[in-house]
Amino acid sequence: MFEEQEIISIGKRELVDRIRGLSSQDYRLVQIGCTKLETFQIDYSFDKDYKFLNIRVNVPIEDAQLPSISGICGSAFVYENEIHDFFGIKVDGISIDYGGNFYRTAVQAPFNIEEPSTDEE
């Protein structure tokens, strides 16, 4: 038995209003995750009464920028700082902004570095 998962893709400009709407309906922010493809795929996952809903935004890799939702969802600041530190995405208006010092990484944006795939088998 596996839960139904709804994924809705929206534009960056709609993001804040959409999240505000979900928050007002008591949806819980489950996580914010980033996947590097041809663009950065940002997933904002929510749950309400075991119903899983994922809002997806794609932003270009060059000069990637996002508005913060930490003013709406209190727990968002940890994910937004993580996305900034790992992928180098600039997030505007984080409620608690560590300015790149949330994680102590040896290199900047380690998840945004191209590395060839290798099979170590």
User: Which residues contribute to the site for other proteins (CB under 8 A)?
Assistant: 1-3, 5, 23, 26, 28-31, 33, 35, 37, 43, 45, 50, 52, 54, 73-75, 77-78, 85, 96, 98, 101-105, 110-111, 115, 117-121
Rounded Cα distance, 114 and 29, in Å = 30
Identify which of residues 13 and 80 has a Cβ nearer to other proteins in the complex.
80
Token duo for residue 98: 């560590």
Torsion of CA 9, 86, 88, 100, to 10 degrees: 130
Identify which of residues 77 and 88 has a Cβ nearer to other proteins in the complex.
77
Q: How far is the CB of 75 from other proteins (least distance, A)?
A: 3
Q: How far is the CB of 13 from other proteins (least distance, A)?
A: 24
Question: With b meaning 16 or more CB within 10 Å and e meaning fewer, what string describes 68-81?
Answer: bbbebbeebbbbbb
Identify which of residues 13 and 60 has a Cβ nearer to other proteins in the complex.
60
Q: How far is the CB of 29 from other proteins (least distance, A)?
A: 5
Q: How far is the CB of 54 from other proteins (least distance, A)?
A: 7
Contact 48, 28 (CB under 8 A): yes
Identify which of residues 7 and 13 has a Cβ nearer to other proteins in the complex.
7
